[in-house]
A = this chain, B = another copy of it.
Amino acid sequence: MEPVTRNYYVGIDGGGTKCKARLENAQGELLGEGLSGPCNPAQSAETAFASIIEATTLALEAASLPATKMSDLNVCMGLAGVNVARYRETAQRWIFPFKHTHITTDLHIACLGAHAGQDGAIIITGTGSSALASVGENLSSIGGHGFPLGDKAGGAWLGLRALQYTLEALDALVPTSRLVKDMCEALGTDEPQAIVGKSLHYKSSDFGKFAPIVVKCANDNEPVSLSIVNEGKQYLTGVISQLEKLGAKRISMIGGISSQWAKWLPDNIQQRLQPAKCSPEFGAISLVKHLVKES
């Protein structure tokens, strides 16, 4: 009976706001899941480590397994922030109580999940934006440069662009529009210095809160938001072409505003996108199973 109890697999999806763990046995049956808090080592290494342990503990509990089984787990975690060398190194110095630990990016496990462990590419458009092609042994990332430097076509970028236009319109440098009116309504003021006072310490998630306004205006053919959306479409079209050049035959787009972007893209581009087959946690498990088999 021993091999059955020994082979537990955990896939962890660690993002900026939450950490999800999925526990399976060797037969691929779901035993339990766990959900905890923020898990981005670039934001807080201590919090990220604690979130990983917590989500894993909760998954064991949900599977009615004792915490002592921790040392039997083969774990793969995909974490935000570890695309940057110094945060990857931080995560690699952590000492985990698991049997086997593999650390990669959240983008990598999302890509593996979307294509059920096979080759393919992923584009994530949520608050931020990034893309990855996984073809054979090669991983090639596009974007993921962070806000405000990158994240084009992400929610924070949409919100930033709308707020920039709004302030220029209130300065009478560009024509006013419905987008400006809707933004001022959401802000509760049309006084530029009051808006600056509100937005002075905005994080990307704060800018992202205005994305639904841009989406609504663009869907009503409001010209300013359409021009912002067009820039995003051009960027995503370029990303899709580049992922294809990197050899990706199957491309999926996931994240909070991905279905909206998919609708905005022209038909010939939409047709080049495929739905994601499985979750990032599933992708993480498929990777660790592969690695454990090889070792």
Which residues from chain A sit less than 8 Å from chain B, CB to CB?
42, 83-86, 141-146, 148-150, 160, 163-164, 167, 171-174, 192-197, 199-200, 202, 235, 238-239, 242, 245
Contact = CB atoms under 8 A, between A and B. Distances in A.
Given A149-B164, A173-B242, A144 B86 contact: no
Given A144-B193, A145-B192, A145-B196, 10 more contacts: A42-B200, A83-B196, A84-B197, A141-B193, A146-B200, A149-B160, A149-B163, A149-B164, A150-B167, A174-B238
A145 B167 contact: yes
Given A85-B197, A149-B199, A173 B141 contact: no
Contacts of A86: 197
A72 B171 CA distance: 40
Given A160-B148, A160-B149, A171 B142 contact: yes
A173 B246 CA distance: 12
Contacts of A196: 83-84, 144-146, 149-150
A200 B143 contact: no
22 contacts: A83-B196, A84-B193, A84-B197, A85-B193, A85-B194, A86-B197, A142-B173, A144-B193, A144-B196, A145-B195, A145-B196, A146-B196, A146-B200, A148-B148, A149-B167, A149-B202, A150-B164, A150-B196, A173-B235, A173-B239, A173-B242, A174-B238
What 9 A-B pairs have minimum CB-CB distances, sorted nearest first?
A: A148-B148, A84-B197, A173-B238, A142-B171, A145-B167, A145-B196, A83-B193, A172-B242, A85-B197
Contacts of A84: 193, 196-197, 200
Contacts of A194: 85
A105 to B, nearest CB: 10
Contacts of A164: 145, 149-150
Nearest to A191: B85
A91 to B, nearest CB: 14
Contacts of A141: 192-193
A245 B49 CA distance: 58
A146 B195 CA distance: 11
Contacts of A172: 242, 245
Contacts of A199: 146, 149
Contacts of A202: 149
Nearest to A81: B200
A183 to B, nearest CB: 12
